[in-house]
């Protein structure tokens, strides 16, 4: 009997949710994704510290750079992304600074800057996904970038409205955060049964996947932020799932048949009219969980970005 990880790979594109090159080599995922939190963890591992030092040296040598730590953080993200590309055959996601989450044009500018850094390293940027928080402003930045031929990964998706608006903007991929949705419901409804198919994060991604397939949206659904392998098992068949090394290891050591739970639609129906900004903001206002978790996610990524830049400033 093949492992459940092998069975999952036969129906879903598996993405490594890590910046750890050794873990990627071990599990051989199709794609890889990073964020400020993962970059911060990576540079705290001794064998990756030289990349941080190189990024600081590079930033200090640039003309007209007033924020050496910020420039070094961008360079480090690209350096790690470039090395990940050597290990995976597919896409690597690189995240825009979360502090720009409410500034559309600054997000577009930062995205183009990151891609320029990739090109300076001789990287084929068609394999880079620019990762952007799913605020209204971020989704509009994704719309602009996609119109420029730049693929985007809209992240921190907690609501149907965020997912729908991202698809209507033409985002290449969205990342609904399954485990963080579960966290909120467990904290606020502690007596409820959220196991298996009752998991609210699983329900959210299933609804998004079914809606996208029913209406023929090309946007890829990539479930993220898993708390246990049950969530992954319940979403088998989803376009992509980005999974931490610990859960990849658990799946690799789990046997038994893995049932496909999500399936594409043969004959899509026409899509409804697009959400307006007013409708998007009202729908978000009506969903406390999505508001709470989006704000928390942006704050945490911004905090880790600041911590990362402080560590790089110490190396300058």
Task: Give catalytic residue positions.
Answer: 131
Q: Give the bridge partners for 171, in sequence order.
A: none
Considering only CA atoms, which of 187, 239, 177 is closest in space to residue 31? 239
With H, G, I as helix, E, B as strand and everything else as coil, classify residue 309: helix
Considering only CA atoms, which of 291, 198, 262, 244 is closest in space to residue 16? 244
With H, G, I as helix, E, B as strand and everything else as coil, classify residue 208: helix
With H, G, I as helix, E, B as strand and everything else as coil, classify residue 196: helix
Q: How large is the greatest C-alpha to C-alpha distance in the chain, in angstroms?
A: 59
CB of 143 closer than 8 Å to CB of 170: yes
Q: How many residues does the chain have?
A: 316
For residue 43 the two structure tokens come to: 């540079």
Beta-sheet strands, E only, within 65-151: 92-95, 128-133
């Amino acid at each position: 009997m093949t492992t459940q990880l092998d069975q999952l790979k036969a129906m879903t594109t598996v993405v490594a949710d890590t910046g750890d090159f050794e873990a990627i080599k071990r599990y051989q995922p199709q794609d890889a994704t990073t964020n400020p939190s993962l970059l911060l963890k990576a540079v705290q591992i001794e064998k990756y510290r030289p990349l941080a030092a190189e990024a600081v040296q590079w930033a200090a040598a640039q003309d007209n750079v007033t924020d050496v730590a910020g420039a070094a953080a961008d360079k480090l993200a690209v350096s790690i992304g470039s090395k990940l590309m050597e290990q995976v055959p597919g896409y690597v996601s690189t995240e825009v600074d979360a502090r720009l989450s409410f500034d559309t044009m600054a997000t577009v500018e930062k995205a183009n800057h990151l891609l320029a850094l990739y090109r300076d390293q001789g990287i084929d940027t068609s394999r880079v996904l620019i990762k952007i928080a799913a605020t209204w402003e971020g989704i509009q930045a994704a719309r602009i970038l996609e119109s420029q031929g730049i693929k985007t990964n809209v992240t921190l998706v907690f609501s149907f409205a965020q997912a729908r608006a991202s698809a209507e903007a033409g985002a290449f991929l969205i990342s609904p955060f399954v485990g963080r949705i579960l966290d909120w419901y467990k904290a606020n409804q502690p007596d409820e049964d959220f196991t298996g198919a009752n998991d609210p994060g699983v329900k959210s991604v299933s609804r998004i996947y079914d809606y996208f397939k029913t209406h023929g949206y090309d946007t890829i659904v990539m479930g993220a932020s898993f708390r246990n392998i049950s969530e992954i098992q319940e979403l088998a068949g989803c376009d992509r799932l980005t999974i931490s090394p610990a859960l990849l290891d658990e799946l690799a050591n789990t046997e038994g048949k893995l049932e496909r739970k999500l399936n594409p639609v043969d004959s899509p129906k026409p899509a409804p009219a697009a959400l307006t900004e007013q409708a998007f903001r009202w729908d978000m206002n009506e969903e406390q969980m999505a508001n709470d978790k989006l704000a928390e996610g942006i704050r945490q990524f911004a905090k880790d970005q600041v911590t990362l830049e402080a560590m790089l400033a110490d190396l300058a």
